[in-house]
Each structure stands twice: as C-alpha cells, then as structure tokens.
Amino acid sequence: MAKKYRYELPEHPVDYGVKVTAADLKIDAEAQRTLNPSRAKAIAADIKPHALGSIIVSQRTNGDMYIVDGQHRREACRIAGIDTMVAEVHRGLTLQEEASLFLIKNREASKTNAHDEYRIGLTAGLPLFVDTEEVLVSHNLKIGSTSSNQIGAVQGILAITDKYGPEILDDVLTVAEAAYGRSAETWDGMIVGGLGEAIGRHRNILSNETALDELARKLAKRSSAARLIGDARSSATGYGSKADGTGSRKMAAYRLIIDAWNKARRVNRIDV
C-alpha cells in the first residue's frame, strides 16, 4: 500500500486584518508561482481597494514580510498607486513552511499551474515532490516541456507516486525507456500514466525484473511509442464517437499495455 502524502504545517501564531505597506512586501521566488504581468495589469485596471481581501504574508524572524499568496494583488496595487493592503500575517515559518502554506492555500482553488506547484513543493520539502524528484533524477530526467530528457506530465507522475508509491514510478520509467528508448513520446502522459496503472494495479504479476523486462519487450514488439499514443487516443475517443479526456486516454493506454502483456500468454494473464 502506497503511503499517503499530505501538506502539513506546525502550529504558529497568525494575526488577521493587519495593515501592511505594499512596497515593503518581499517575494521569494522559490515559494511563489511565476508572476503574470498581464494578470496584475488586469486587476489594476478595475481595482477596488475595499474588495481586495486579505493577502497572506509570512513575517520572518528578522521582521521582513514575504508574500505567501497575493503577489498579483500587490503588483496591481503598485501599478494603481495604492500604498497599503490588509494581510493575514503568519509568524515563525521557515521557507519550506511558507511554500507548504502557499500550496495549502491554493490547493482547493487549483490556481497554481503544475510546474509551479512542483517547484514550490520541492522548496517546501514535501515528501510527495521530493520522492518523485529522486526517481526522476535517478533516470536523468527533470520536469519541463516533454522531450527526450524532460517530462511535462507533472500531474501524471505525481499521481503515480501518490497512488502507488515512488517504487512504481521507478519501474514505469524503466519499462518505458527499455521499450521505446529516450524520446518525447516515451515520456508522454498517456504512456507513463498507462504504465502506472498497469504496474501499480497488477503488482502481484508485474512485480520483478523478469516480468518488467518481458513487458518492455512485448511493448517494443507491439509498436512504437507514437503508435501506442495514437492507438490510445483513437480508442479513448471511439474514433470520434465519444469524449477524449486525459483520464480516458490514460486508461485506453492501460488496456493496450495489458493487451500486449497478454498476447500469446496462457499463464499470468491479466484481466481488465
């Protein structure tokens, strides 16, 4: 059973409704999303000071105030010439804890893009992100635009670690590379996600190096990575007859991977 990953914070003092000077507020890029200037300008164009709400601020031990959530509103205030803001001030947090607080505050709203969330999760030292990163590094991979050495399917690989554990993610990447080499198609979210479901769900069969090597050989014999992606997409849409969501494409790839495993097999077949 994979361990569950959660965002946690220690008990610490928090003051509400504190007036702060916008110009004095600092930003630590390691614990923040990337600033979108267009978004800040759009807020500034129709800004209403009394409707801005409270931003989230961390006051560090030296007295400096760092924005945890609200940097676009702070930038909008700067553009609009507004000097003061209302803040919820958290005291005594480390940088890692500031990053955790950012993710906690934004988790329900889902406003943070996946790459920013991953970077901030690493800054926070959260086990889900740290464990995932360790696996990626061991395969000489990193998060980025999908290419031979980068994976763009951030939510997909995090989901594998969260649901099945980092050992399964390690096996997924090993099988994918053994079957298809290192290419952008190898690390496509459909292939990685489909392998995650196949190896994670059927660990009782796909549990050792011999079985995983056989799975890789059968996938390589079945088709190229690009062909598997195309077949999964076509299967998920029913050749244009139904919706093509990320989850349905992943599960279509999963079924195709299991079909490859079962081909010409009498024992250790997998039923789906």
- Domain layout of the chain by residue ranges: 14-115, 129-262
Q: Residue 153 in contact with residue 193, Cβ under 8 Å?
A: yes
Nearest CA among 22, 151, 132, 136 for reference residue 80: 22
- Yes or no: domain 14-115 corresponds to CATH 1.50.10.10: no
Residues 6+ apart with CB under 8 A from 146: 152, 153, 184, 187, 188
What is the predicted pLDDT for the residue at 186? 97
Interval 109-166: pLDDT, tens:
545 688 888 998 999 999 999 999 999 999 999 999 999 999 999 999 999 999 999 9
Tell me the average pLDDT across 88-102.
Answer: 92
What is this structure's pTM?
A: 0.69
